[in-house]
């Protein structure tokens, strides 16, 4: 879990993913010698802060978003949300501005419910703050801020160790309306003819999806993927013998929203471990579900 710990500690609020993109890029460049197959590594101005790893003759693309939720410093001691953080007053927020490091405390206005900060000085307007990372590991669980989606990124990087054919795409802005998958999908579709996707992201523990019972295959969330494709994913998962659970939700979204809207016929399916304490500094995932997620991706990328 050393890689996961490192990933959780790199700040990457939506819109400012450059540092984590470089981390992933450095990791891929360094580790690829140990991977069974070497990818083409694509990361240049055409892709902003995204990274693409292309293995063999791809049929399916994996999307894992780099960005996280957080806050932007507004005026006075006000904060504006990046995505949908669920933190409580008193939680520790960190960042950097022109005067140096920031380590402050979240406040919540009694009247308005609006977030703010307590700190010994004003923080520069526009500074992004993220949760302080307290990474906790037990024999059976990992707990940290930003397992959503550093665990999806971790899963994608671990998948690279054995991947023969496929695209692994690291995207930006997922937590705040999207903005990179549209062009990533266009490039992948037009360059490689790929139109099958898996969304390597984290979902939530619910009355129907329990911690420890395997990675979730989402049959739908706020959007509905094409049944014919999801049925293929389910059939492969069932035949694999790998523990998994079927999820059905009416809300929530992912990078799939941009695939669904794309001007290309993308089939997609969200496949990801469930977590408790979603969008807090204490996101909690069962290690069995992490193992199941990686195993499922290995099977799916072989057989789809």
For residues 49-68, which are near a second copy according to CB under 8 A?
A: 49
Decide if residue 104 touches a second copy (CB under 8 A).
Answer: no
Q: Please state the closest distance from residue 178 (CB atom) to a second copy, in A.
A: 7
Contact 8, 1 (CB under 8 A): no
> What is the DSSP pairing of strand 141-144 with strand 136-137?
antiparallel
CA R_g for the chain: 19
Q: Which of 26, 57, 80, 134 binds a second copy (CB under 8 A)?
A: 80
State both tokens at 138: 């037990």
Exposure pattern of 4-21 as b/e (b: 16+ CB <10 Å)?
bbebbbbbbbbbbbeebb
Residue pointed to by tokens 């996101």: 283
Could you give the CA distance from residue 72 to residue 303 in angstroms, rounded to a whole number?
43
Three-class secondary structure of residue 4 per DSSP: helix
Q: Please state the closest distance from residue 3 (CB atom) to a second copy, in A.
A: 25
Say how many CA atoms lie within 13 Å of 14 toward its Cβ. 23
41: which strand partners? 53
For residues 145-174, which are near a second copy according to CB under 8 A?
A: 172-173
Sequence-distant (6+) residues with CB within 8 A of 297 are 62, 155, 156, 159, 198, 200, 271
Decide if residue 73 touches a second copy (CB under 8 A).
Answer: yes
Say how many CA atoms lie within 13 Å of 225 toward its Cβ. 33
Q: Which of 10, 23, 39, 47 binds a second copy (CB under 8 A)?
A: 47
| Closer residue to a second copy in complex, CB, 127/155 | 127
Q: Which of 206, 213, 240, 298 binds a second copy (CB under 8 A)?
A: 206
Q: Please state the closest distance from residue 119 (CB atom) to a second copy, in A.
A: 16
Could you give the CA distance from residue 217 to residue 118 in angstroms, rounded to a whole number?
41
Q: Which of 14, 153, 168, 194 binds a second copy (CB under 8 A)?
A: 14
Q: Please state the closest distance from residue 144 (CB atom) to a second copy, in A.
A: 23
Decide if residue 15 touches a second copy (CB under 8 A).
Answer: yes
Decide if residue 108 touches a second copy (CB under 8 A).
Answer: no
Residue pointed to by tokens 């010994």: 120
Decide if residue 262 touches a second copy (CB under 8 A).
Answer: yes
For residues 211-230, which are near a second copy according to CB under 8 A?
A: 219-220, 222-228, 230
| Closer residue to a second copy in complex, CB, 258/282 | 258
Residue pointed to by tokens 């707990």: 143
Size of the site for a second copy (CB under 8 A): 56
Q: What is the end-to-end Cα distance of the chain in Å, rounded?
A: 28
Decide if residue 246 touches a second copy (CB under 8 A).
Answer: yes
Instruction: Name the one range near a second copy by CB under 8 A: 101-109, 149-157, 247-255, 275-283.
Output: 247-255
Decide if residue 250 touches a second copy (CB under 8 A).
Answer: yes
State both tokens at 21: 């993109």
Q: Please state the closest distance from residue 34 (CB atom) to a second copy, in A.
A: 31
Decide if residue 261 touches a second copy (CB under 8 A).
Answer: yes
* Site for a second copy, rule CB under 8 A: 14-16, 18, 45-49, 72-76, 80-82, 125-126, 128, 172-173, 176-180, 182-183, 185-186, 206-208, 219-220, 222-228, 230, 246, 248-250, 258, 260-265, 267
């Amino acid at each position: 879990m050393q890689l996961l710990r490192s990933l959780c500690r790199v700040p990457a609020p939506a819109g400012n993913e450059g540092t984590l993109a470089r981390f992933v890029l450095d990791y891929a460049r360094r580790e690829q010698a140990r991977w069974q197959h070497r990818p083409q590594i694509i990361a240049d101005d055409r892709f902003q802060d995204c990274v693409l790893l292309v293995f063999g003759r791809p049929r399916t693309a994996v999307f894992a978003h780099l960005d996280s939720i957080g806050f932007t410093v507004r005026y006075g001691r006000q904060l504006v949300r990046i995505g949908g953080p669920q933190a409580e007053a008193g939680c520790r927020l960190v960042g950097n501005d022109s005067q140096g490091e920031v380590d402050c405390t979240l406040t919540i206005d009694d009247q308005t419910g609006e977030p703010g900060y307590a700190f010994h000085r004003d923080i520069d307007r526009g500074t992004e703050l993220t949760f302080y990372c307290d990474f906790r590991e037990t024999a059976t669980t990992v707990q940290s801020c930003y397992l959503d989606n550093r665990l999806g990124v971790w899963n994608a990087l671990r998948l690279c160790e054995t991947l023969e054919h496929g695209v692994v795409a690291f995207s930006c802005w997922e937590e705040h309306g999207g903005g990179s998958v549209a062009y990533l999908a266009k490039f992948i579709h037009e360059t490689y003819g790929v139109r099958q996707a898996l969304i390597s992201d984290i979902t939530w523990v619910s009355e129907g999806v329990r911690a420890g019972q395997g990675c979730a295959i989402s049959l739908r969330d706020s959007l509905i993927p094409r049944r014919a494709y999801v049925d293929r994913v389910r059939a492969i998962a069932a035949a694999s013998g790998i523990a998994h659970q079927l999820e059905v939700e009416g809300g929530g979204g992912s990078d799939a929203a941009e695939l669904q809207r794309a001007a290309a016929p993308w089939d997609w399916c969200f496949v990801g471990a469930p977590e408790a304490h979603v969008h807090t500094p204490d996101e909690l995932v069962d290690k069995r579900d992490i193992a199941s997620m990686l195993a499922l991706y290995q099977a799916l990328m072989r057989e789809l």
